[in-house]
A and B are shown apart, each in its own frame.
Chain A
Amino acid sequence: MALARALAFFLFAVTLAGAAPAPAAAQGVDPHAIVQKFGGKQSFEATEGVIGELAATGDPSVAGALRALGEGELYWRDSDQAVFIVHGRDDPATLLDPITGEPAGTAPQSSLTKVRIKNSIRNAISDALAGLTLRAKDPAVRLNAAETLFSEADAQGIAALDAAIAAETVPAVRQKMEESRAAAVLRSDRPSEEKVEAVKVLQHRGDRAALNVLNSLSASSADPVLHRAAQAGAAAIESTIAFWNQAQNVWYGLSLGSVLLLAAIGLAITFGVMGVINMAHGEMVMLGAYTTFVVQELIRANAPGLFDWSLVIALPLAFLVSGLVGLAVERCIIRFLYGRPLETLLATFGVSLILQQGVRTLFGPTNRQVGNPGWMSGAFDVGLMSVTWNRLWIIVFALVVFAVLLLILNRTPMGLQMRAVTQNRRMAAAMGIRTPWVDALTFALGSGIAGIAGVALSQIDNVSPNLGQGYIIDSFMVVVFGGVGNLWGTLVGAMSLGILNKSLEPYAGAVLGKIVVLVLLILFIQKRPRGLFALKGRFVDA
């Protein structure tokens, strides 16, 4: 920051000493008098000179005249060469004062001559206007102007930027201005030393736009010092960008990981804790998503004001719906199949087919629209990466669900009973724990959590009867990879699979990346059949 300020001061001094119209000297000039210089037949160069003078005043009131000039609405009166703005082709035309915009009488069209412009002049006008908006009252407008100038400003813009920098009080805006000024310096024919300084400013900025400027500089520059500086700057920026790309990949990976975690965490309970293979788990997720859809439809029809609350309302309902279906499945089917995992797999696959077809019959086979509430939409930037709100919320939500589940398992009487039954069913029964009920409740809990996951997934995926199928294999992979019977393993498994998947994607593409992950997983399971965080002990394979 100190360096930037020193630089600004240095540039300011140079500007003062230079031949360019000094902004400080221009302060006392009456803009009205300058505008009048457009009057009379003159060369394009002269017109451009006048634009420069106007810009140098830094007075926002000249903007109207400049805009009119750009749109071909600036005229001078043949009789006295006075300059006016004229809108439209009315005859007689209404004359407006170029600075104040007040009506200044009328005149026949024939007595007026348009100030001629061409493309280069239009560019000069827009630069001048940008320079003027640099002085606007609203800092956001100033920031925007500075940003616009970054890709456009050239030698002529430097003066305006210098003036703006000197007057700027908001640090963020000033930084943008200095960056734009540096870009302008690099496009001008200023001395090399100054350009090398400018390269440093751009390197500090470190985004793709700065990289473009530096790349074109290193391609065009003949000065070896400058060339090297530009190359070094470009390399530094590239590594910054690479870092942020990596960060973005990790972010995407975490996001995918949180989705996997949500989908798998219920399975970690039913499969991991109870040892029950629930192939209908994906359908429990789907039921949760459809519950969200129904809740939103009801809200849309009856209480549109509550829409932002729709997900909050859907959460407990989804838990109940999926949990009850899970309870029914456990009581009617699974309890007869304990100790026969392969048969359980087949029976629950049958349940999944029935649930899918049931939903298809009820809601139709097509995708259903589930809306994002306001707080779930939009995005913001962190450094060079963009973060969407819905992904962020889902990560937070997945972690909260994980933490709550961990609490339930480790801190509540029900969790204690669940763990007891898992470890030694007969002993638990002998202690008076009603093991069938614990089984049923555990299964309902796992299913209910799948339903909750469905609420979250409805925000980022298509809500269709096939929703669950897309997650079931991934979920199993997560649980098996993380290690059965270990919730922390599920967390680590989900996150590392998510990140691995997204890190492979840039090199291999989405589909091939997924295939690679599957193959790696198959190999991994063969290396460590019990997963990353396997329970060890004599009785594990009994």
Chain B
Amino acid sequence: MIFARHLGARVWILVAVLVAAAILVPAANLWLPASHPLHVPNYLVPLLGKYVCYALLALALDLVWGYVGILSLGHGAFFALGGYAMGMYLMRQIGGRGVYGNPLLPDFMVFLNWKELPWYWYGFDHFAFAALMVLLVPGLLAFVFGYFAFRSRVTGVYLSIITQAMTYALLLAFFRNDMGFGGNNGLTDFKDILGFPIAARSTRAALFAASCAALVAGVLVVGAVTRSKLGKLMIAVRDAESRTRFLGWRAEHVKLFAFTLSAVMAGVAGALYVPQVGIINPGEFAPVNSIEVVIWAAVGGRGTLLGPVIGALLVNWGKSYFTAAWPEGWLFMLGGLFVVVTLLLPRGIVGTFDHGWDALRLRRRARLAERGGSSGATDAVPNPAE
């Protein structure tokens, strides 16, 4: 593998922790007795699974924001589209067990007096097709959107605003009953997935493990991409886009690659999220959701592999805690977090830690160099001339 050496120990620790979680959490839920101190209660498994999906979403955003400098305020849309693709599969799995007992049409279509299945629902009774759509639909939207946006060099804040407009337009669209995606209520009342009852403990445990696996895959993919020459090019585009153009690189292709890959990852996160929370509705397209993702990545530290994962887990844990303990306070906290992180912690937790660590190491080396006069160490010391 091209990246094994370059990823660094920290990332492998993260991967190990995730793999361990994928095994231990289900085990502690399924096989430890409820009285056991290490028992993981039933409610916690899908909750943790949700966090892991969010972490994957944050990682996807980090790929475009942290590494390529595209602040997408519409990543929630890709997440939701992946979720809808999965939701459509789960809807078709209900079959004749719905309230109206129609073997072909989901309940909401019967309710709206629809007579036949819209063409875009064809094929979603097959898991493989649905899984393909989970990748294709967000990827295609991102590709088309990105193709036009990057080709005409919409950058910076303008790009952020039109990504926000994109998810807003989708929000409005999915609220309409005529769209055939359940309108306001979205898709829910799922019964089973791949033949397993969706609410069963073992299914939930398996979904959690799958989410962890997806996150591990996401970390490795993003790691591989960002450590490749293309990854260096991404950072180059982020820092000096016109320089890359004058070197003959097509900056728009670099961005398009990252944006599309990121959208696909977000779609996967959404697809894993839906069976664990049991519903997907247009609210997922709300621009606010997409901006929240940004703060996860910012808190953890953008432009790092670890940061978005840590940020997503921390912020969402905080959200769960505070919405229960002090519901009114959560939005104050979240708002404050946006302000504090951008003002005081622009590198995020991981970035700040790295920066501090580097500074410390440099100072120690400089001291050693002074004392010992060893010339080898001066290389890494910043030139004081600047």
Which residues of A line the B interface, CB within 8 A?
A: 277, 333, 336-337, 341-347, 349-358, 360-361, 469, 473, 476-477, 480, 511-512, 514-515, 518-519, 521-523, 525-527, 529
Contact = CB atoms under 8 A, between A and B. Distances in A.
Contact of A337 (B148, B153, B160, B342): B342
B328 A347 contact: no
B166 interface: yes
Interface string B147-172: 01101111111101110111011001
Given A515-B172, A526-B148, A529-B152, A521 B339 contact: no
Contact of B343 (A333, A354, A518): A333
B337 interface: yes
B165 A346 contact: no
A341 B287 contact: no
A67 B155 CA distance: 78
Given A350-B337, A350-B339, A473-B165, A525 B158 contact: yes
A477 B158 CA distance: 10
Nearest to B164: A473
A344 B152 CA distance: 24
B246 to A, nearest CB: 14
B169 A345 contact: no
B176 A525 contact: no
Contact of B336 (A277, A345, A350): A350
Interface in B324-344: 328, 331-332, 334-339, 341-343
A347 B176 contact: no
Given A353-B335, A354-B331, A512-B176, A346 B342 contact: yes
B157 A527 contact: no
A79 to B, nearest CB: 71
B335 A277 contact: no
Given A337-B343, A473-B164, A511-B172, A349 B157 contact: no
Contacts of A343: 342, 346
Given A341-B156, A473-B168, A529-B154, A350 B176 contact: no
Contacts of B169: 514-515, 518-519, 522
Contacts of A333: 339, 343
Contacts of B148: 522-523, 526
B134 interface: no
Residue with the greatest number of chain B CB neighbours at <10 A, chosen from A341, A343, A345, A361? A345
B338 A480 contact: no
Nearest to B148: A526
B291 interface: yes
A103 B154 CA distance: 90
B377 interface: no
Contacts of A523: 148
A477 B165 contact: yes
Contacts of A346: 291, 294-295, 298, 338, 341-342
Contacts of A527: 152
B21 interface: no
A526 B147 CA distance: 10
Given A343-B342, A526-B149, 8 more contacts: A350-B295, A350-B337, A353-B332, A353-B334, A354-B331, A358-B332, A477-B165, A522-B169
Nearest to A275: B157
A518 B168 contact: yes
Residue with the greatest number of chain A CB neighbours at <10 A, chosen from B145, B158, B164, B341? B158
A350 B298 contact: no
Contacts of A352: 335
A358 B166 CA distance: 29
A514 B337 CA distance: 33
B173 interface: yes
Contacts, number: 118
A510 to B, nearest CB: 9
Contacts of A469: 288
B156 A357 contact: no
A480 B161 contact: yes
Contact of A521 (B156, B165, B334): B165
Nearest to B155: A529
B259 to A, nearest CB: 14
Nearest to B161: A476
Contact of B331 (A356, A518, A519): A356
12 contacts: A346-B294, A347-B338, A350-B337, A360-B328, A469-B288, A473-B165, A473-B168, A477-B165, A518-B168, A522-B145, A522-B169, A529-B152
Nearest to B175: A511
Given A346-B298, A473-B287, A525 B154 contact: yes
Contacts of B343: 333, 336-337, 347
B312 interface: no
Contacts of B295: 346, 350
Contacts of A526: 148-149, 151-152, 154, 162
Contacts of A529: 152-155, 158
Given A341-B156, A473-B287, A518 B165 contact: yes
A477 B151 CA distance: 20
Q: Which 6 A-B pairs have the closest CB atoms?
A: A350-B338, A353-B335, A354-B335, A357-B331, A518-B169, A526-B152
A277 to B, nearest CB: 5
B71 interface: yes
A281 to B, nearest CB: 12
Nearest to A342: B71
B331 A514 contact: no
A349 B154 contact: no
A345 B71 contact: yes
Contact of B160 (A342, A350, A351, A361): A342
Contacts of B346: 343
A168 to B, nearest CB: 54
B176 A511 contact: yes
A489 to B, nearest CB: 14
A464 to B, nearest CB: 15
B165 A347 contact: no
B335 A351 contact: yes
Contacts of B164: 473, 476
B342 A347 contact: yes
Residue with the greatest number of chain B CB neighbours at <10 A, chosen from A341, A354, A356? A354
A112 B155 CA distance: 95
Contacts of B172: 511, 514-515, 518
Contacts of B341: 346
A341 B155 CA distance: 11
Contacts of A354: 331-332, 335-336, 339
Contacts of A358: 332
A241 to B, nearest CB: 28
A309 B334 CA distance: 39
A342 B338 contact: no
B334 A522 contact: no
Contacts of B168: 473, 518
Residue with the greatest number of chain B CB neighbours at <10 A, chosen from A346, A352, A354, A355? A346
A337 to B, nearest CB: 7
A522 B157 contact: no
A353 B173 contact: no
Nearest to A344: B342
Residue with the greatest number of chain B CB neighbours at <10 A, chosen from A349, A351, A357, A360? A349
Contacts of A519: 169
A17 B335 CA distance: 87
B162 to A, nearest CB: 5
B55 to A, nearest CB: 19
B94 to A, nearest CB: 28
A174 B36 CA distance: 95
Contacts of A337: 342-343
Contacts of B153: 529
A477 B161 CA distance: 8
Interface in B282-335: 287-288, 291, 294-295, 298, 328, 331-332, 334-335
A355 B332 CA distance: 8
A349 B338 contact: yes
